[in-house]
Chain A
Amino acid sequence: MAYRGAGGHGQPPSAVRSRVSPGSLSTCRTRTHNICMVSDFFYPNMGGVESHIYQLSQCLIERGHKVIIVTHAYGNRKGIRYLTNGLKVYYLPLKVMYNQSTATTLFHSLPLLRCIFVRERVTIIHSHSSFSAMAHDALFHAKTMGLQTVFTDHSLFGFADVSSVLTNKLLTVSLCDTNHIICVSYTSKENTVLRAALNPEIVSVIPNAVDPTDFTPEPFRRHDSIITIVVVSRLVYRKGTDLLSGIIPELCQKYPDLNFIIGGEGPKRIILEEVRERYQLHDRVRLLGALEHKDVRNVLVQGHIFLNTSLTEAFCMAIVEAASCGLQVVSTRVGGIPEVLPENLIILCEPSVKSLCEGLEKAISQLKSGALPAPENIHNVVKTFYTWRNVAERTEKVYDRVAGEAVLPMDKRLDRLISHCGPVTGCIFALLAVFNFLFLLFLRWMTPDSIIDVAIDATGPKGAWTRQYPYSKKGGENNEMSKPR
């Protein structure tokens, strides 16, 4: 995925085109931004947030912005790395506390982050995921430094138990003076507005996307003599693996020509194995274990029906990927799922074994009678729904809007913290904000902004990655190389 990956993957024609496109696009654009994406979750970790950050950054680079990513070090992967198209990633040496999220003291990351923000001349901080402590830290420091802030929330949260009461309070503090918030679905927006007590006007809904060229149908890969139901998810309680363990025996007894393929790993795998053992379904239920993202498509195309049993979900990319591969989707009606696909492409059920079995039976009978549209047709419809370019374009509008807004000065920020977050929490965090500001003054006195080197832009309007070097030797070589083309 680093330098070499770029050379290996990007075929010369597309590379040339993407070199041309930023210029042509930026001519019609009034301004470009220096964006810093911050999250604890990034490659080599894999998941929805990680791919969102990567894809969005790539499309923003294509649109002529300068983008860098800041995350924490993953084992041996530390320091600075460059990804495709000169996307610069800082892997910072911060301690991981729990679930790949860093520990936070609100202060210790300031020197490093300030140095990066100044070096890279960042104007907009875009933090991702409410589970990431680093994202919240970055928001806090950015406001102290007077930078514009944007936050993307990828998950849903309840209100009932003590832990969610506490996390929601922290989110209120973190978002009360953030310029703009992005949510991935309307349900997620309602949730975030309630959790953080926000004005809904500053919350935009921009869905996730999938790359439709990665998820193409291949009907010949599946056996039409049998019906195959595919499940691809982590095998954990929140993804409804318990429901799945009830559905499998119920349907396998009813339909002798039904098979299951289950991709994914997790603590609940054991109950699926028990069910398989108990009902002697070893030849009909295949457990594939953990899948790499590139293998998901090859698993999906082997099936006719995709089953999603999640108990909570903000957007659910899995069902879009499955539909893009031409599968009929059966899913629980939870969270933002009803917003994601039109009714003719998805069968929505209540989160119970009975309802899901009815939904699956409906899909099976449609499949047997030939009432389902061809995979190719489904793919052609779905591929128009969600594209990363569209996401980037809409995110860019948010950046444009944010760049025109004023960052709250220190006194107003303190007022807002105290008035908005309750008397106790508000005062505590106002005090912390003051300390943070003093710490920043101290750092500025130690190393003034003026003596911090400016980093070479790899991307952006005058990016080194896209610029031809007429003077240097390397540039000359480049020119020579591009001549034969």
Chain B
Amino acid sequence: MDLCKGGGTGLCLRGRIMCAQPGTNTKEAKWQKILYERQPFPDNYVDRRFLEELQKNIYARKYQYWAVVFESSVVVQQLCSVCVFVVIWWYMDEGLLAPQWLFGTGLASSLIGYVLFDLIDGGEGRKKSGRTRWADLKSALVFITFTYGFSPVLKTLTESVSTDTIYAMAVFMLLGHLIFFDYGANAAIVSSTLSLNMAIFASVCLASRLPRSLHAFIMVTFAIQIFALWPMLQKKLKACTPRSYVGVTLLFAFSALGGLLSISAVGAILFALLLVSISCLCPFYLIRLQLFKENIHGPWDEAEIKEDLSRFLS
């Protein structure tokens, strides 16, 4: 105990000497980033090396404008899908579109899409998943049979609910579909199951307001085609042939706009503005805001375990 005290006063003395002639001492001794030795500097000394290990934006990604525009097409596609769906429903509701015609077109485009789906990647995806054509046909048949069988039920399902409620519900469900859709972001909010379920629910709601049960059946089938099958084909198109994907997106967007224009000019203009702002303005702002990004990294960051440690337990 006494020894320690002696050491303490010794340090105290050294400290005083240091204070008396700081010039000579500090020149000789170089500051080190260590704690186990008393250094001839005050405790609040700030060295030139202070914060030298600070790094900024090391994981930040640099975005290219056209690349971001290209990626934004997923959102545009999904908005257009919703728009096309609503337009088709409106035509059906008004009696301007015969259900048989829609069914025929839907079936034909589904078959084309089905063939394309395998052609694009040369059948590799099919080999990987190991799914046979027979299985595809079976599930398609089961689905169509059941929907057809239950379509009278669908028709009368919501009779006791007021039409306004149905519309409001459909709007919320379609919005939810857009929010939870898997656009490729790795976030907690993304849930493709929930998103698809909301879209189908919206389609059931809207279908129940159509004049006959055949209409309802065809509307739900169409919803499955546009909300479940079409995004799968899109994903593959985007991965394998980006050029044709851009073409398809533009075509789809213009047809959606055209359909909307035939119902309401104001709606079409607003929708066009929305599409332009999402695909052109938002990327521009993203890149502008990127300049203000200041992500700080340094030795104080919590280390990340990069290995897969589950192998030790399997």
Residue A312 interfacial (CB < 8 Å): yes
Given the complex of chains A and B, what is the CA–CA distance between A243 and B88 in angstroms? 57
B295 part of interface (Cβ distance < 8 Å): yes
Given known pairs A352-B305, A393-B8, the reply for A190 and B312 (CB within 8 Å) is no
Question: Interface segment, B28-36, B158-166, B246-254?
Answer: B28-36
B1 near A14 with CB under 8 A, answer yes
Q: Verify B4–A387 contact, CB threshold 8 A.
A: yes
Taken together as a complex, chains A and B put the C-alpha atoms of A187 and B249 apart, in Å, by 52
**In the complex, A352 Cα to B303 Cα: how many Å?**
9
B-side contacts of A203, CB under 8 Å? 44
Q: When the two chains form the complex, which single residue of B4, B303, B313 contacts A245, counting CB atoms closer than 8 Å? A: B313
Q: Is the CB of A353 within 8 A of B309?
A: yes
Query: Is the CB–CB distance between B300 and A389 below 8 Å?
Result: no
Would you mind naming 28 contact pairs between A and B with Cβ atoms under 8 Å apart?
Answer: A17-B1, A156-B300, A159-B296, A159-B297, A185-B35, A187-B298, A187-B299, A190-B54, A194-B298, A200-B46, A201-B44, A204-B43, A238-B302, A240-B303, A243-B309, A250-B312, A275-B313, A278-B312, A311-B304, A312-B303, A335-B299, A339-B34, A339-B36, A340-B36, A342-B34, A389-B8, A390-B8, A393-B12
A-B contact count (CB 8 A): 129
Residue of B whose beta carbon sits closest to that of A250: B312
Q: Which residues of B contact A342 (CB under 8 A)?
A: 34, 36
What does the 1/0 interface line of A177-209 toward B look like (CB < 8 Å)? 000100001111011011000001111111100
Given A339-B34, A339-B35, A352-B306: A194 touches B296 (CB 8 Å cut-off): yes
Contact with B along A197-227 (1 / 0, CB 8 A): 0001111111100000000000000000000
* B36 near A385: Cβ-Cβ < 8 Å: yes
Check A264 for interface membership: any CB of B closer than 8 A: no
- A194, B313: Cβ atoms closer than 8 Å: no
Residue of B nearest to A340 (CB): B35
The answer, yes or no, to whether A386 is at the interface (CB within 8 Å) is yes
Contact B309 A393 (CB under 8 A): no
Contact yes or no, A398 B54, CB < 8 A: no
| B-side contacts of A204, CB under 8 Å | 42-44
A181 → chain B closest CB, angstroms: 9
With A206-B43, A271-B313, A312-B303 already in contact, the answer to whether A159 and B295 are too (CB < 8 A) is: yes
Chain B residues whose C-beta falls within 8 Å of the C-beta of A422 in the assembled complex: none
Chain B CB within 8 A of A351 CB: yes
Other than the given A238-B302, A387-B7, 19 more pairs (CB < 8 A) read A21-B5, A159-B297, A185-B35, A186-B33, A188-B300, A193-B51, A204-B44, A242-B305, A242-B309, A245-B312, A278-B312, A278-B313, A315-B35, A332-B303, A351-B305, A352-B307, A354-B307, A385-B36, A393-B8
Of B51, B295, B299, B300, chain A has the most CB atoms within 10 Å of the CB of B300
Known A200-B46, A205-B35, A245-B309; judge A190-B298 contact (CB<8 A): yes
Interface size of B in residues (CB-CB distance below 8 Å): 37
Residues in B neighbouring A242, C-beta threshold 8 A: 305, 309
B34 partner residues in chain A, CB cutoff 8 A: 339, 342
- Whole-angstrom distance between the alpha carbons of A406 and B302 in the complex? 38
Give Cα distance in the complex from A406 to B189, angstroms.
51
Name the CB-closest residue of B to A323: B36
B50 interfacial contact with A, CB 8 Å: yes
Closest Cβ of chain B to A179, distance in Å, is 12
Chain B residues in 8 Å Cβ range of A187 = 298-300
A339 touches B33 (CB 8 A): yes
B136 at interface (Cβ–Cβ under 8 A)? no
Q: Does chain A have a CB within 8 A of B11?
A: yes
Within 8 A of A (CB), among B13-52: 33-38, 42-44, 46, 50-51
Please give, as numbers and ranges, the residues of chain A lying within 8 Å of B54 by CB-CB distance.
190, 194
Please determine whether B8 and A386 come into contact, CB atoms closer than 8 angstroms: no
Other-chain contact of B302, A14, A185, A311, A352 (Cβ < 8 Å):
A311
Whether, in the assembled complex, B94 has its beta carbon less than 8 Å from a beta carbon of chain A, the answer is no
Q: Given A335-B300, A389-B4: A186 and B43 within 8 A (CB)? A: no
Instruction: Decide if the interface of chain B is mainly helix, strand, loop or mixed.
Output: loop
Complex: how many Å from CA A146 to CA B160? 70
Q: How far is the CA of A379 from the CA of B11 in the complex (A)?
A: 21
Within 8 A of B (CB), among A303-317: 311-312, 315
Within 8 A of A (CB), among B215-247: none
CB <8 Å contact, B303 and A158: no
A189 to B309, CA, bound (A): 33
Complex: A278 Cα to B314 Cα, angstroms: 9
Q: Which residues of B contact A386 (CB under 8 A)?
A: 35-36
- Shortest CB-to-CB span from A233 to chain B, Å, is 15
- Closest CB of chain A to B296's CB: distance in Å? 5
**Given A271-B313, A342-B34, A352-B307: A201 touches B46 (CB 8 Å cut-off):** yes
Inter-chain contacts of A159 with B (CB < 8 A): 295-297
Chain A 347-384 residues near chain B, CB threshold 8 A: 351-354, 384
Task: Mark out the residues of chain A between 252 and 288 whose CB falls within 8 Å of any chain B CB in the assembled complex.
Answer: 271, 274-275, 278
**Assuming A203-B44, A246-B312, is B298 touching A312 (CB within 8 A)?**
no
A200/B50 contact (C-beta < 8 A), A385-B36, A387-B4, A394-B43 known: yes
Q: Give 5 closest A-B pairs by Cβ, nearest first.
A: A351-B303, A204-B43, A191-B300, A312-B302, A385-B36
Closest chain-B Cβ to A328's Cβ sits at a distance in Å of: 16
B305:A311 contact, CB within 8 angstroms: yes
Closest to A351 in B: B303
The smallest beta-carbon distance between B61 and chain A, in angstroms, is: 14
Residues of B within 8 Å of A93, CB to CB, are: none
Q: Which of chain A's residues 231-254 have a Cβ closer than 8 Å to chain B?
A: 238, 240, 242-243, 245-246, 249-250
- Does A397 sit at the interface, judged by CB under 8 A? yes
Q: A74 to B50, alpha carbons, bound, how many Å?
A: 40
Is A334 among interface residues, defined by CB-CB distance under 8 A?
A: yes
Query: What chain A residues lie within 8 Å of B300 (beta carbons)?
Result: 156-158, 187-188, 190-191, 312, 335
For chain B residues 130-184, which have a beta carbon within 8 Å of chain A? Answer: none
Q: Which residues of A contact B37 (CB under 8 A)?
A: 385
- Bound-state CA distance A334–B298 (Å) is 10
Contact with B along A123-162 (1 / 0, CB 8 A): 0000000000000000000000000000000001111100
A276 → chain B closest CB, angstroms: 11
Contacts of A186 in B (CB 8 A): 33, 35
Contact of B36 among A191, A341, A354, A389 (CB under 8 A): A341
